[in-house]
Amino acid sequence: MDISVVVPLFNEEESLPELTAWIDRVMRANDFSYEVWLVDDGSTDSSWEVVQQLVAQNDCLKGIKFQRNYGKSPALNVGFQHAGGDVIITMDADLQDSPDEIPALYRMVKEDGFDVVSGWKKNRKDPIGKTLPSKFFNFVTRKVSGIELHDFNCGLKSYRRNVIKSIEVYGDMHRHMPLLAKWAGFRNIGEKVVEHRARKYGYSKFGLSRLVTGFLDLLSLMFVGKFGKRPMHLFGTLGTVMFVIGLVTAVYIGTAKVYALANHMPKTLVTDNPWFFISLTTMIMGTLLFVTGFLAELVARSNPDRNHYLVETVLDA
């Protein structure tokens, strides 16, 4: 099969017939073999009834229904588990992503050799209250991750099959899937300017809170990617540095007091020196960080996936 399209949806009953018909026209015009996985993320309208009707009319359409709303990332992850195409394309169900972009996204993976191709909604049809925070988020993510993409949050992306079978999308990590792919060893990540259409039906399901959660997810992902299997390297290093700084400061304060006593110089109580408490606090924090790293290391060692690594090729003569 050429293409699997994974469409997470939540309360999109009006747009589904138009979206699936549009996808079908594009696929038939380009002679692609395809499947579309419509993942209903616990919709409270009649979206699932619409999905059932559409699946009964077209064998290329498949449906998955969650018992409740879990979020976009779980919906994508379950869709990826079922996808069987050589190229997997994700898009939103609100008709703001154009299925006409599918052939070019497919060719960039199959012919140009990209592992991941991310859409770039260069001319967005959203209000400034969404575009400005999004630009700031993308700027920070670009600098932190080292991936030169303009629009990490674009729902329209294409993936080589072994990419989505090698990563796990959880929490709200769908915004950082290029980074997940990079951590898994897929570094050929490209970008394509795509059409962004104004919302035709319903309303946006995402608010400004995603800006905060996006940064928290980015920090979490960077930590797990770098130190997930060796947390002591982070906490132990920070703890040791802080403890040494506090210890050196405390020794200096004690030495200064002994020197003053030995030379009959004016002296004050060590506890009257604010730097004594600063050094003591620093030593306590360093100890706590070191212990945190030790406990995290024990947890990591007991993880059944501690020796799970992605192997691309094995040559056995």
Residues 255 and 183 both lie in one domain? no
Ranges 40-54, 70-84, 163-177, 209-223: which has the least confidence = 209-223
Residue 13 lies in a domain: yes
- The average pLDDT across 47-68 equals 94
CA 267 to CA 256: how far, in whole Å? 9
Residue 317, pLDDT above cutoff 60: no
Average pLDDT, the chain: 85
Categorize the per-residue pLDDT at 196 as very low, low, confident or very high, splitting at 50, 70 and 90.
Answer: confident
Predicted pLDDT of residue 146: 85
CA 19 to CA 9: how far, in whole Å? 12
Residues 238 and 222 both lie in one domain? no
Q: Which residues pair with 119 in a beta bridge?
A: 192
The tokens describing 36, both together, are 């579309």
Q: Domain range holding 283?
A: 232-302
β-strands 189-193, 61-65 pairing? unpaired
Categorize the per-residue pLDDT at 315 as very low, low, confident or very high, splitting at 50, 70 and 90.
Answer: low
For 66-95, write each residue's pLDDT tens digit.
Answer: 999 988 988 999 999 999 999 999 999 999
Tell which wins on pLDDT, 217 or 175: 175
Residues 165 and 259 both lie in one domain? no
Q: Of 201, 226, 251, which marks where a domain is finished?
A: 226
Residues 158 and 172 both lie in one domain? yes
Residues 149 and 266 both lie in one domain? no
For 90-128, write each residue's pLDDT tens digit.
Answer: 999 999 999 999 999 999 999 999 999 999 988 876 666
Check: CB of residue 9 under 8 Å from CB of residue 200. no
For 217-263, write each residue's pLDDT tens digit.
Answer: 667 766 766 776 778 888 888 999 999 999 999 888 888 888 877 88
CA 147 to CA 158: how far, in whole Å? 16
Q: Of 226, 250, 267, which marks where a domain is finished?
A: 226
Residue 171, pLDDT above cutoff 70: yes
Residues 155 and 265 both lie in one domain? no
Residue 96 lies in a domain: yes
Residues 156 and 261 both lie in one domain? no
Tally of structural domains, the chain = 2
Residue 307 lies in a domain: no
Ranges 150-154, 290-294, 295-299, 312-316: which has the least confidence = 312-316
Phi, psi of 229 (to 5 degrees): -100, -5
Cα R_g (the chain), whole angstroms: 26
Residue 303, pLDDT above cutoff 80: no
Ranges 65-74, 149-158, 169-178: which has the least confidence = 169-178
CA 127 to CA 149: how far, in whole Å? 21
CA 169 to CA 157: how far, in whole Å? 14
Residue 207, pLDDT above cutoff 60: no
Residue 316 lies in a domain: no
Q: Of 206, 226, 246, which marks where a domain is finished?
A: 226
Predicted pLDDT of residue 298: 81
Residue 48, pLDDT above cutoff 70: yes
Residues 95 and 64 both lie in one domain? yes
Categorize the per-residue pLDDT at 141 as very low, low, confident or very high, splitting at 50, 70 and 90.
Answer: confident
Residues 248 and 192 both lie in one domain? no
Residues 166 and 281 both lie in one domain? no
Residue 50 lies in a domain: yes
Residue 169, pLDDT above cutoff 70: yes
Residue 34, pLDDT above cutoff 80: yes
Q: What is the CATH number of the domain that holds 138?
A: 3.90.550.10
Ranges 84-93, 173-182, 262-271: which has the least confidence = 262-271
